[in-house]
Amino acid sequence: MTRVFSSDYRDHGTRFPDPFPVHRLKRVDRPTTWINEEEIRRVDERDGGFHRAGRGEYGGHIQKEYHRFQEKFPLSEALFEVTHRLGEPDAVSGAPRRGPAPGTDDPAAMARHIKETGYFLRADMIGICRLPPYAVFTHGRKDDQPIELTHDYAIAILVDQDYKTSAAFNGRDWISNSMSLVAYSHSAFIACSLAEYIRSLGYEARAHHATNYQVVLPPILLWAGLGEMSRMGDVVLNPFLGPRFKAAVVTTSLPLEVDKPIDFGLQDFCDKCGKCARECPVQAISHGGKVREKGYERWPVNVEKCTSMRVGNRLGSGCGTCIKVCPWNKPFTPFHRMVSWSLRNLPPTRRPAIWADDLFGYGRPDPRRKWWLDLEVVDGEWRIPRCGPSSQLPVREEP
């Protein structure tokens, strides 16, 4: 994609490591949603919605669909295949290649260096935190073994799901699952490369990504200053990418200066907005307030409904309707940067902005930008799928 440089270009790589102006965000000592470290228990990866779907806990139909979830659409199948290959044990982990490199013992300098390395490796945004012990899964789904992970630091890597495609789709078209997978695959590739590099520098490092996790991501994203909890439930929302990203993590023994959590007013914004709850096709997102459970404060989400919609979608592949319609899902243009600034800093502008977001038609699919093929594989054979009402062929002016 085009790399056009913003007005922050002069600062990028000189004063600040980050291409996005994250230095303009308000930093706070703790995440903006209540977290009770005493109460949180480590979770088992096998208890996640997708794995429950695969075990048949959401019914036989969803279980059957789970097993063709990637294969049903050819681009998902391809992206899952490459991501799966990155999940091999020797792709995510290994021993440090030698003793620690000289001059790598300054945590502040190394935090900056690791971020600049990650941006060189084409990450979109990076944050660093201490690895919360409660973010480590008790057991992995791959081998059912208990997980021991003693790394002190977590480096979180965000990759955009592609604004252009997110403008084109209706939230649950055939491309939906591939949007997740393109960000999963690239964040996985960057995390594997960065973990290799840290091991080359002589420190322990392990990549965690979609096809091989030992950690749960939301608390890491919160502590690393990459977002706040949103109405979408488990989704951490970033002030520049909105919810339109996926993350991978590198955990490491390399001492690093950590980032602080951010506060860009999202708790107030999500309280006022509720567009995701209104548009969710299965009404899995709460219209009400936050709750406190299992040590976290968050908007509750119906995981069974959400997972069953994504896995069982009959008119497409996956679902990201909440990502599509969220007012924070915008391109990083001068206009939207100005709006984002005012949403972050001027609370009275939030209600008018939410109203204008609907008025200007954001959240509706833009058929001029549709580029994917509506195709479905059923039992190894092609089928021209039924599509939802908003799926249409690209409408194009001749160049």
Footprint (CB under 8 A) of a copy of itself, residues 65-124: 74-75, 77-79, 81-82, 85, 91, 97-99, 101-104, 112-113, 116-117, 119-124
Q: Which of residues 114-173 bind a copy of itself (CB under 8 A)?
A: 116-117, 119-124, 160, 162-165, 167-168
Shortest reach from residue 254's CB to a copy of itself, in Å: 12
- How many of the chain's residues bind a copy of itself (CB under 8 A)? 81
CA–CA gap between residue 308 and residue 52 (Å, rounded) = 10
What DSSP string runs through 13-49?
TTTBS-SS-GGGSPB-SS-SS-B-TTT-----GGGSH
Which pair of structure tokens corresponds to residue 62?
A: 């969803």
Q: How far is the CB of 74 from a copy of itself (least distance, A)?
A: 4
What is the rounded CA–CA span in Å between residue 336 and residue 334? Answer: 6
Closest approach of a copy of itself to the CB of residue 16, in Å: 6
Please answer whether residues 246 and 210 qualify as being in contact, where contact means their C-beta atoms are separated by less than 8 angstroms: yes
Q: Tell which positions 251-310 bind a copy of itself, by CB under 8 A.
A: none
196 touching a copy of itself, by CB under 8 A: yes
Q: Which stretch binds a copy of itself (CB under 8 A): 2-10, 55-63, 149-157, 314-322?
A: 2-10
324 part of the interface to a copy of itself, by CB under 8 A: no
Draw the binding track, 12-51, toward a copy of itself (x: CB under 8 A; -: no contact). Answer: xxxxxx-xx--x----------------------------
Torsion of CA 344, 348, 349, 350, to 10 degrees: 70
Q: Which long-range contacts (CB under 8 A, 24 or more apart) does 57-60 make?
A: 58/304, 58/307, 58/308, 58/311, 59/308
Q: Does 384 bind a copy of itself (CB under 8 A)?
A: yes
Determine the Cα–Cα distance for residues 358 and 365; give it in Å rounded to an integer.
13
**Does 53 contact a copy of itself by CB under 8 A?**
no
Kindly state whether residue 182 participates in binding a copy of itself, applying the rule CB under 8 A: yes
